[in-house]
Amino acid sequence: MKVFISGNIAPVGLKELEENNISVTQWKENQQITPEELIKACQDQDAFISVGPNKINAEFLKACNHLKVIALHSVGYDNVDVAAAKALNVPIGNTPGVLSGATADTAFLLMLAVSRKAFYSHKKIIKGEWKNYEPTPELGIEVTGKTLGIFGLGKIGLEMAKKCIGAYNMAVIYHNRSRNEEAEKAIGAKYVSFEELLAQSDVLSVHTALTPETKDKFTLEVFKQMKSNSIFINTARGGIHNEKDLIKALEEKIIWGAGLDVTNPEPMDKENPLLSMENVAVLPHIGSATEETRAAMAQIIVKNILAGLKGEKLPFEVK
């Protein structure tokens, strides 16, 4: 059996594939594989491990409907035409659960970095602008005892909430399509309407999937409903916020600050004004980028691949 991988996965995954006598071909070019190149690369393969923002759309699936399984190197699957995959009987697997802690750590990091203007202050040192002590300029804000709002209280949002409660005794409110009663019991989170979430959150952290309903959810009109001293955090998908509107909301001081691990587009242009704002922190989509998490993701990928190649139900299948 042969599998094509459109990028790098943790060595433990490659080792397990080889131990199961699966021949591996990897894309090792220093740029994202094009849709045409991807279709060509998968023609003589039995399985495909998708690393990066590959579009697993109807065109790709029709051209590669011989694949026994496609395993995503992600929990998100907004780049997959799930209906088309089901119609062509091509099972899709993802990596849920294992990246919750690491991604929540990134959201927590961004919250603190924004609240203390850490990235901006660090850049001042690099520029040689660290001069004499001044007690009042460019002050940050504290988050102790403030209200954390979670948009999408699933596994990652729950981990973020636990960290904020434990470290800073923050109150937690959330908005989901449906209530998370387990989280309410576990951490005392309060379910509120979307409008209440905007109005009451001191820190609003996004942890929802990118869907037609959440795409461009956070526009200028939405930011205007938030507190003027609030912080917006997004570690989910860049398409959930309108980046031009976010820039305007920050420039006009409609909200206080923002922390992003995801942008739209990705990669972000180096001239993007968000990168020079003192109350903004941006990371290059490193939410799950720890050795432990990436190894766990690779092991789940292998489980999905092995099951698919045997014609068995995937242990972590996108439904």
The enclosing H or E element of 194 equals: helix 194-200
Residue at 289: amino acid letter? A
Task: Please state whether beta strands 231-234 and 257-260 pair in parallel, antiparallel, or not at all (unpaired).
Answer: parallel
d(CA 158, CA 289): 19
- The yes-or-no answer on residue 285 being catalytic is yes
Contacts 24+ apart (CB under 8 A), 33-37: 33/6, 35/59, 35/60
Both tokens of 167, joined, read: 């470290």
Look up residue 226 and give its DSSP letter: S
- The yes-or-no answer on residue 122 being catalytic is no
d(CA 104, CA 28): 30
Cis, bond preceding 265 (omega within 30 deg of 0): yes
d(CA 317, CA 319): 6
The enclosing H or E element of 296 equals: helix 291-309
Given the residues 237, 241, 243, 294, the one annotated as active site: 237
Given the residues 73, 207, 285, 294, the one annotated as active site: 285
At residue 302's C-alpha, the angle toward residues 298 and 307, to 5°, is 150
- The yes-or-no answer on residue 182 being catalytic is no
Torsion sign, CA atoms 142, 161, 73, 37:
negative
Given the residues 221, 266, 291, 292, the one annotated as active site: 266
Residues with catalytic roles: 237, 266, 285
